[in-house]
Structure 1
Amino acid sequence: MTRYVALSRGINVGRHRRVPMPTLREWLADLGCAEVRAYPRSGNAVFVPPSGGTGPDAWGEALERAIAERLSPDVRVLVLEGDELCRVAARIPFSSRDIDSAQLLVTFLSGPVDRARLADLDPAAYAPDQLHVGEREVYVHCPDGVRRSRLTQALWERRLGLFGTARDGNTVRALAAMVTSDEPR
């Protein structure tokens, strides 16, 4: 049984486009998904898709359509296989002993990173922030806080031409735990 993780960008941010997590679970259940669990107040969910062979991209599009019909057409959703999210969490390049997880930002991208498009990026220009580029994700340690960082998903989207959505280290680790747990949430 393959679990997927839906990362919604544009809901439950600020006061606009609020979606209670029971509602998000209901929308996924309406699409035929099972074992739907949502991370509190986040727009993130773990679910088992119905059998039928559609992949994560198709599920992201389906959830975007469901949200557009009920809420707003400009909400984007990135869906990953649960194993991929767990690999991203396991590869966090900064030691948890050295940093606060709330100061870690992981931007998940809709496709692989083309490193040539980042060749002229000077990490020293963004100090004290530190970055590490993964396969389909970018890890940023923001010692002055994620809100002050200039290494944002918008930067990665412009440079790489990909859709991205960012989560802090606490959320990434919690979602990985949800993927591997059989306990309902």
Structure 2
Amino acid sequence: MPKLIALLKGINVGGHKKVAMAELRQLLTKEGLKNVQTYIQSGNVIFDSIDDVKKIEDRIQEVIYSHFGFEVLVIVKTRDEIQSVFSACPFSNEKKEKSYFIIFDKIPSIELIKEVSKIAYENEEFVIKEKCLYFYSPLGYGQAKFSLNAFERKLKVKGTARNYNTMVKLIAMSATEEKDH
């Protein structure tokens, strides 16, 4: 059975959209997902399923809405897709280790990518490849002028960001049978 990774946007951030990971694992297991694991509180779920990815995204969104009462963007990728996004990072290894990987729900149009690529902030770099925006700032994500919401609007996509360490851990966890973190 294929190993899949669900990336949930904006849960457990600043006291908003609170979701207990143990409760989420239990709900998703009831929904038929197998070997459900979570990583940290920010909405990373690793599981096995043979179902269609879009159906799984919709099902997880519905479960969260019906149980917790709010909507959440859910992007489901295969382990290979996450590995591919990680491997395709255009930055040097030194920068990559301090980068953010913003995974989109769809590929933005080439015209919009060209337009957005003209944006420049001092001490910030970004590259858009397929369904990912790679972002690097020596100041860190929290201190950057970069705004995911602005980029989502301009590119007409939705996305969720993960840092280097989270990407490494998701790839490692999806390669093993270890349980709940």
User: How many percent of aligned residue pairs carry the same amino acid?
Assistant: 28
CA distance in 2 between partners of 1:149 and 1:44 (Å):
24
Q: Is the 8 A contact 1:109 1:163 kept in 2?
A: yes
Q: Are residues 1:126 and 2:141 paired?
A: no
Offset at residue 57 of structure 1 (A): 1.7
Q: Is the 8 A contact 2:12 2:18 kept in 1?
A: yes
Match of 2:150 among 147, 155, 163: 155
**Secondary structure of residue in 2 paired with 1:125:** coil
TM score, norm. by length of structure 1:
0.89
Match of 1:58 among 55, 58, 66: 55
CA distance in 2 between partners of 1:152 and 1:83 (Å):
28
Q: How many residues align?
A: 180
Supply the AA of the counterpart residue of 1:42. Answer: S
Match of 1:92 among 83, 89, 93: 89
Query: Relative to structure 1, is the Cα distance of residues 43 and 122 closer, same or farther in structure 2, using a 3 angstrom cutoff?
Result: closer
Gaps of 5+ in 1: none
* 1:9 counterpart residue number: 9
Gaps of 5+ in 2: none
Q: Which moved more, 1:19-28 or 1:150-159?
A: 150-159
* 1:48 counterpart residue number: 48
TM score, norm. by length of structure 2:
0.90
Cα deviation per residue 1:39-71 (whole Å; 9 max; x = unaligned)? 02121110012x4xx321211111011000111
Supply the AA of the counterpart residue of 2:60. Answer: L
**Secondary structure of residue in 2 paired with 1:126:** coil
Q: Is the 8 A contact 1:113 1:134 kept in 2?
A: no
Give the alignment's Cα RMSD to 1 decimal.
1.8
Offset at residue 117 of structure 1 (A): 0.5
Match of 1:165 among 132, 144, 160: 160
Offset at residue 83 of structure 1 (A): 1.2
Q: Which has the higher contact order (CA 8 A, sep 6+)?
A: 2
Match of 1:77 among 74, 91, 104: 74
CA distance in 2 between partners of 1:126 and 1:61 (Å):
36
Match of 1:146 among 136, 141, 144: 141
Q: Is the 8 A contact 1:29 1:36 kept in 2?
A: yes
CA distance in 2 between partners of 1:71 and 1:134 (Å):
34
